[in-house]
Structure 1
Amino acid sequence: MAESGHGSYVEPEFERDTTYIEDRITAEAGPWPVEAGRYRLVVARACPWANRAIIVRRLLGLEDAISMGICGPTHDADSWTFDLDPGGLDPVLGIPRIKDAYLARFPDYPKGITVPAVVDVPSGKVVTNDFPRMTIDLSTQWTEHHREGAPVLYPEALRAEIDEVNQRVYTEVNNGVYRCGFAGTQKAYDAAYERLFTALDWLEERLSTQRYLVGDTITEADVRLFTTLARFDAVYHGHFKCNRSKLSEMPVLWAYARDLFQTPGFGDTTDFVHIKSHYYEVHRDINPTGVVPAGPDLSGWATPHGRESLGGRPFGDGTPPGPPPASERVPTAHNPHVGEDGLVTT
């Protein structure tokens, strides 16, 4: 199974299954209305697509409105499991694996069992696993439940540009690393490698004169790029053979990534132990032994980045989120820069 089920390993070239449950939770009347306490966001910290939803939920302060279930970093051919919870059952949904919520709604569900997924708690049925739409809807449909000072991550005036940037980042970077990692021939790998680093060079140039990807504040575009960058040296450089340069050897992107990492909501949702465990233990087709590497050194994530000189205001007219709930904090043993309050310390 592809990581979080969003693809299939086919030779000679990796192809991602992009067919999702397209239902939406909306502020307007409909089958799935916005309603505090009704839905549960199911994630795995290892998964970059789920990490997006974790970050956006935290930045917007939706913890009290949408509960969160966290799967373990590994899964079998069947589904992601709640092996981190007592008895191996999600404490709210009462199920051992997210597949059960999919089958509760679609008994013959034919597609990948993926995270992130939103589940309707009263019925136990999955609502959606459309992760690109999910984070946009958290920003635009759940505004009534946003915290005071929540940032505007998808501002109307910048949506066309955000969408354009997101499309290139998704095809060439977010998915590009997978295209390298699961290439079935040298030709496919070489083409994927060239595409990936062409895009990273474009990002280096774009971010050399502006602090954030679009506008002068953090937007949805920065969230989507960050989750790939956070995994680059730990996984993609070696495991996926994306090895022209480490992130730490690309000065602009490395400074940009550290800037975001040190911003509340980003680094404090990053679990390096879960990330490495997932990729190296689950992807036995490219890492048959399942051995998880000890490195890389993570100390650099806390070093000064100097991006303040480019101006910009991380949260615009808003404010940073406070500490995450105790039950949702990344253990310091999994991210050495997370303090006892769950926030990144530098």
Structure 2
Amino acid sequence: MPSYTQEGSSYERDMAYIPDRITKEPGRSQDQYDDGELDVRTWPAEPGRYRLVAARACPWANRSIIVRHLLGLEDVISLGLAGPVHDERSWTFDLDPGGRDPVLGYERLQEAYFARFPDYEKGITVPAVVDVASKAVVTNDFPQITHDLFFEWRDHHRPDAPDLWPDDCREEMEEVMQRVFTEVNNGVYRCGFAGSQEAYDEAYDRLWTALDWLEERLTDRRYLMGDRITEADIRLFTTLARFDAVYHGHFKCNRNKLTEMPALWGYARDLFQTPGFGDTIDFDQVKRHYYVVHEDINPTGIVPRGPERESWYSPHLREKLGPPR
């Protein structure tokens, strides 16, 4: 889960991630990291070299799990999954036998960060790509990770992999993704972590303005960019999948539920029922993460039982807008 900084009574995302890239043509350069010098590198896209460490609970990490599956990279980049509940130090591998990742041998993802940066002081976030041989983190730059899985690993995609970044709508797609990120993906957190009524009210209005815009956009088109699934849909889906289970109540995003917005609810179910989407969602882990970890918001630690997963399998009727291509 990416970390946040407080600006007055509003919360803003800390977007300073490890900037390394994994590319087809690796190189090397130097840059600054905090008060010290960070060795900024591009690493080679070599099958079997890296482990993607993610968590089903985290929407930002969930993106990378979906993209890896859709592109058919399961045998190219291995996947390690952290448990849903972590402390201030790190995500942990408590889902694995003995509480250790079977490939890296670590109990905590923090160990991979310290293997590269012994004095690393920022938050230990997922997703993270780890170099298996050195057991050191390569990058935790979540939007760049999924971007590079598509562009830099093309030689290893399955033959019928979807075009998640189509050239003919790239400019509009970038604009849509930016609005989705600032107003929806980040918007629910802005509501949940608001430090004053004024900050919350502003965040709430921004979020619902964006959700109303998306409801209208998706009324007459099957996906955000028309008749094909793109990276934009993946980025929106992971927030929608958590909306009624977490954000509606826990983050006070409660004007209405997702299930009360016909276009968005049908769209979310359409994606959920698409292989590679719903099968990455574990609602129990999602709820445990938010309701247990956020002690300041939910001091009792009680995890709600609903809503039921079965509703996500009801007919979405989005086929009338056209078959996907």
TM-score normalised to structure 2 length: 0.94
Displacement of 1:112 in angstroms is 1.2
Runs (5+) with no aligned partner, structure 2: 28-41
**How many Å separate the matches in 1 of 2:25 and 2:93?**
32
- The residue that corresponds to 1:21 in the other structure is 18
| Residue type at the aligned position of 1:65 | V
**How many Å separate the matches in 2 of 1:165 and 1:312?**
22
Match of 1:195 among 206, 228, 245: 206
Match of 1:205 among 191, 207, 216: 216
- The residue that corresponds to 2:189 in the other structure is 178
Tell me whether 1:149 sits opposite 2:146 in the alignment. Answer: no
| Residue type at the aligned position of 1:61 | G
- The residue that corresponds to 1:320 in the other structure is none
**How many Å separate the matches in 2 of 1:266 and 1:29?**
31
Q: Alignment partner of 2:235: what SS?
A: helix
Deviations 1:164-220 (A, max 9, x none): 110000000000000000101000000000000000000001111111101320000
Displacement of 1:304 in angstroms is 0.6
Does the 8 Å contact 1:10/1:184 carry over to 2?
A: no
**How many Å separate the matches in 2 of 1:9 and 1:251?**
35
| Residue type at the aligned position of 1:19 | A
Tell me whether 1:255 sits opposite 2:255 in the alignment. Answer: no
Does the 8 Å contact 1:81/1:98 carry over to 2?
A: yes
- The residue that corresponds to 1:120 in the other structure is 131
Runs of 4+ in structure 1 off by over 4 angstroms are: none
Match of 2:80 among 69, 75, 78: 69
**How many Å separate the matches in 1 of 2:121 and 2:323?**
45
- The residue that corresponds to 2:242 in the other structure is 231
Q: Alignment partner of 1:32: what SS?
A: strand
**How many Å separate the matches in 2 of 1:214 and 1:297?**
29
Matched pairs, number: 311
Match of 1:43 among 33, 46, 54: 54
| Residue type at the aligned position of 1:25 | I
Deviations 1:119-160 (A, max 9, x none): 000111101100001101101110111112111111222221
Q: CA RMSD in A?
A: 1.0
Deviations 1:47-75 (A, max 9, x none): 00000000000000100000000000010
Deviates more, 1:8-17 or 1:180-189: 8-17
- The residue that corresponds to 1:33 in the other structure is 44
Q: Measured at CA, do residues 89 and 9 of structure 1 come closer, stay the same or move farther in structure 2, by a change above 3 Å?
A: farther
**How many Å separate the matches in 2 of 1:7 and 1:57?**
26
Deviates more, 1:291-300 or 1:162-171: 291-300
Tell me whether 1:91 sits opposite 2:102 in the alignment. Answer: yes
| Residue type at the aligned position of 1:165 | V
Deviations 1:307-326 (A, max 9, x none): 1111141xx2xxxxxxxxxx
**How many Å separate the matches in 1 of 2:162 and 2:92?**
32
| Residue type at the aligned position of 2:23 | T
Does the 8 Å contact 1:11/1:183 carry over to 2?
A: no
Displacement of 1:11 in angstroms is 4.8
Does the 8 Å contact 1:23/1:128 carry over to 2?
A: yes
Does the 8 Å contact 1:40/1:118 carry over to 2?
A: yes
Give me the identity figure in percent.
69
Runs (5+) with no aligned partner, structure 1: 317-346
Q: Alignment partner of 1:152: what SS?
A: coil
Structure with a larger share of its residues in strand? 2
- The residue that corresponds to 2:320 in the other structure is 309
TM-score normalised to structure 1 length: 0.88
- The residue that corresponds to 1:342 in the other structure is none
